[in-house]
Structure 1
Amino acid sequence: MANSNSTSFPILTTERLTIRQLSIDDQHDIFALRSDTEINKYLDRE
């Protein structure tokens, strides 16, 4: 049964930034970021 209590993620916009819910279209960009060693050296992941 679907969760009817969920709320939609608001889109937050500033002059330089838009924060929105992830979509399937983001998968390639996320993969590229998560695979980048320069970015990952700042993240506490194993």
Structure 2
Amino acid sequence: MKEKSTRICYNDSTGFPIKKIAHRLEKNVSQLVTEALLEYFEKRGIKY
């Protein structure tokens, strides 16, 4: 991280830009949930 933007709220302990992480999670969470469910069904042998 070269620059700190005052517009981004930083976590006190880690220093990671929370908004970027939140946006990334928001974008990927549905895909992750879908993949996790498919993997769960495959392990259980459930037809979907």
Q: Same fold (TM over 0.5)?
A: no
* Structure number having the greater strand percentage: 1
Relative to the length of structure 2, the TM-score reads: 0.35
* Structure number having the greater helix percentage: 2
- Structure possessing the higher radius of gyration over alpha carbons: 2
Relative to the length of structure 1, the TM-score reads: 0.36
